[in-house]
Structure 1
Amino acid sequence: MESFDNIYLDLSKQSGKCKLAESGMGWRPSGGGDTFTLDSSNIGAAQWSRAAKGFELKILSRTSGVIQLDGFDQEDFERLSRAFKVWYGVAIEQREHAIRGWNWGKAEFTKAELAFNVQNRPAFEIPYSEISNTNLAGKNEVAVEFALPADEKANGHIEGSTKNRGRKAAAGPDELVEMRFYIPGTALKKEKAEGDGAKKEGSEEEGEEEAEEQNAANLFYETLMDKAEIGDVAGDTFATFLDVLHLTPRGRFDIDMYEASFRLRGKTYDYKIQYSSIKKFFLLPKNDEMHTLIVLGLDPPLRQGQTRYPFLVMQLKLDEEVSIELNMTEELLRERYKDKLEPRYEEPIHQVITKIFRGLSGKKVIMPSKDFVSHHGHSGVKCSIKANEGLLYFLDKSLMFVPKPATYVQIENISVVTMSRVGGAISASRTFDITVSLKGGLGEHQFSNINREEQQPLEEFFKAKNIRIKNEMVDDSAALIKAALENDDLSTDEDVRPDRGSADEDEESVDEDFHADSDSDVAEEYDSAHESSGSGSGSDAEMDDPDEDDAVDDEMDEEEEERPKKKSKVGK
Structure 2
Amino acid sequence: MALENFEGIYLDLSKQSGKCRFAETGLGWKPQGGGDTFTLDKSQLNQAIWSRASRGYEVKVLTREGQVYQLDGFQADDFDRLSKTFKSWYTLNLENKEHAIRGWNWGKADFAKAELVFNVQSRPAFELPYAEISNANLAGKNELAVEFSLPGDGDETGTNGHLGGARGHGKKAGGARDQLVEMRFYIPGTTTTKVKKGSDDEGSEDEGDAEEDRNAAERFYDELMAKADIGEVAGDSIIKFDDILHLTPRGRFEVDLYESFFRLRGKTYDYKVQYEQIKKFMILPKPDDVHHLITIGIDPPLRQGQTRYPFLVMQFKRDEADDYTLNMTEDTIKEKYNGKLQLEYNGQPIYNVMGNIFRGLTGKKIVQPSREFTSYHSQSGVKCSIKANEGFIFCLDRSFMFVPKPATYIAFDNIQTITMSRVGGAVSASRTFDLLITMKNGAQEHQFSNINREEQNALESFFRAKNLKTKNEMTDDSGALLAAAIQAGDLDSSDDEAGAARGSADEDSEEADEDFQGDSESDVAEEYDSAHESSDGDSDADMEDGDGDADDDDGGDDDTELAERPKKKSKTSK
TM-score, scaled to structure 2: 0.80
- Residue in structure 2 matched with residue 383 of structure 1 by the alignment: 384
Q: 1:80 to 1:172 in 2, by over 3 A?
A: closer
Q: Tell me, yes or no, if the aligned pair for 1:262 and 1:273 is still in contact at 8 Å.
A: yes
Q: 1:162 to 1:263 in 2, by over 3 A?
A: closer
Q: 1:292 to 1:163 in 2, by over 3 A?
A: closer
Q: 1:489 to 1:66 in 2, by over 3 A?
A: closer
**1:300-449 correspondence runs (5 A):** 300-346=300-346, 347-449=348-450
CA distance in structure 1 between the aligned counterparts of 2:157 and 2:239, rounded to whole angstroms: 20
Q: Tell me, yes or no, if the aligned pair for 1:283 and 1:366 is still in contact at 8 Å.
A: yes
- Larger mean CA deviation between 403-412 and 70-79 belongs to 70-79
- Residue in structure 2 matched with residue 98 of structure 1 by the alignment: 100
Return the match for 1:180 from 163, 179, 184. Answer: 184
- Residue in structure 1 matched with residue 572 of structure 2 by the alignment: none
What CA deviation, in whole Å up to 9, does each residue of 1:240-282 have, x standing for no partner? 1111110101111010111111000001100001112111111
Q: Tell me, yes or no, if the aligned pair for 1:113 and 1:127 is still in contact at 8 Å.
A: yes
CA distance in structure 1 between the aligned counterparts of 2:243 and 2:360, rounded to whole angstroms: 22
- Residue in structure 2 matched with residue 558 of structure 1 by the alignment: none
C-alpha RMSD over aligned residues? 3.4
2:65 maps to amino acid: T
Q: 1:342 to 1:458 in 2, by over 3 A?
A: same
Which runs of 5 or more residues in structure 2 are unaligned?
198-205, 499-515, 525-542, 553-559, 568-574
- Residue in structure 2 matched with residue 512 of structure 1 by the alignment: none
Deviation of 1:105 after TM superposition, in Å, equals 1.2
Deviation of 1:397 after TM superposition, in Å, equals 1.3
**1:52-451 correspondence runs (5 A):** 52-150=54-152, 166-170=170-174, 172-189=176-193, 208-209=209-210, 213-230=213-230, 232-233=232-233, 236-346=236-346, 347-451=348-452
Which runs of 5 or more residues in structure 1 are unaligned?
194-204, 502-535, 546-562
Q: Tell me, yes or no, if the aligned pair for 2:420 and 2:435 is still in contact at 8 Å.
A: yes
Deviation of 1:157 after TM superposition, in Å, equals 7.5
What CA deviation, in whole Å up to 9, does each residue of 1:432-485 have, x standing for no partner? 001112233333211111011111111111111122221111156662046659
Q: 1:436 to 1:161 in 2, by over 3 A?
A: closer
TM-score, scaled to structure 1: 0.80
What CA deviation, in whole Å up to 9, does each residue of 1:402-443 have, x standing for no partner? 001111111232222111012344332211001112233333
Q: Tell me, yes or no, if the aligned pair for 1:420 and 1:472 is still in contact at 8 Å.
A: yes
CA distance in structure 1 between the aligned counterparts of 2:246 and 2:171, rounded to whole angstroms: 31
3-state SS, counterpart of residue 181 of structure 1: strand
**1:450-529 correspondence runs (5 A):** 450-474=451-475, 479-481=480-482, 484=485, 494=497, 497-498=520-521
Deviation of 1:493 after TM superposition, in Å, equals 7.6
Q: 1:54 to 1:441 in 2, by over 3 A?
A: closer
Identity of aligned residues (%): 61
Q: Tell me, yes or no, if the aligned pair for 2:374 and 2:380 is still in contact at 8 Å.
A: yes
CA distance in structure 2 between the aligned counterparts of 1:305 and 1:168, rounded to whole angstroms: 25
- Larger mean CA deviation between 23-32 and 110-119 belongs to 23-32
3-state SS, counterpart of residue 208 of structure 1: strand
Deviation of 1:53 after TM superposition, in Å, equals 2.5
CA distance in structure 2 between the aligned counterparts of 1:159 and 1:469, rounded to whole angstroms: 53
CA distance in structure 1 between the aligned counterparts of 2:161 and 2:305, rounded to whole angstroms: 28
Does residue 1:19 correspond to 2:42, yes or no?
no
Deviation of 1:112 after TM superposition, in Å, equals 0.9
Q: Tell me, yes or no, if the aligned pair for 1:429 and 1:477 is still in contact at 8 Å.
A: no
What CA deviation, in whole Å up to 9, does each residue of 1:17-76 have, x standing for no partner? 222111111222334333222111111111112222222211111121111122222222
* Higher radius of gyration, 1 or 2: 1
CA distance in structure 2 between the aligned counterparts of 1:254 and 1:363, rounded to whole angstroms: 22
Deviation of 1:339 after TM superposition, in Å, equals 3.0
Q: 1:383 to 1:159 in 2, by over 3 A?
A: closer
Q: 1:171 to 1:308 in 2, by over 3 A?
A: same
- Residue in structure 2 matched with residue 523 of structure 1 by the alignment: none
Deviation of 1:221 after TM superposition, in Å, equals 1.6
Equivalences, count: 503
Q: Tell me, yes or no, if the aligned pair for 1:244 and 1:254 is still in contact at 8 Å.
A: yes
CA distance in structure 2 between the aligned counterparts of 1:214 and 1:288, rounded to whole angstroms: 47
3-state SS, counterpart of residue 139 of structure 2: strand
1:384 maps to amino acid: S
Q: Tell me, yes or no, if the aligned pair for 1:61 and 1:160 is still in contact at 8 Å.
A: no
CA distance in structure 2 between the aligned counterparts of 1:437 and 1:161, rounded to whole angstroms: 44
CA distance in structure 1 between the aligned counterparts of 2:387 and 2:53, rounded to whole angstroms: 52
CA distance in structure 1 between the aligned counterparts of 2:521 and 2:493, rounded to whole angstroms: 17
3-state SS, counterpart of residue 289 of structure 2: coil
Q: Tell me, yes or no, if the aligned pair for 1:231 and 1:272 is still in contact at 8 Å.
A: no
Q: 1:14 to 1:540 in 2, by over 3 A?
A: closer
CA distance in structure 2 between the aligned counterparts of 1:422 and 1:19, rounded to whole angstroms: 73
Q: Tell me, yes or no, if the aligned pair for 2:145 and 2:183 is still in contact at 8 Å.
A: yes
Q: 1:299 to 1:290 in 2, by over 3 A?
A: same
Q: Tell me, yes or no, if the aligned pair for 1:112 and 1:127 is still in contact at 8 Å.
A: yes
CA distance in structure 2 between the aligned counterparts of 1:126 and 1:404, rounded to whole angstroms: 35
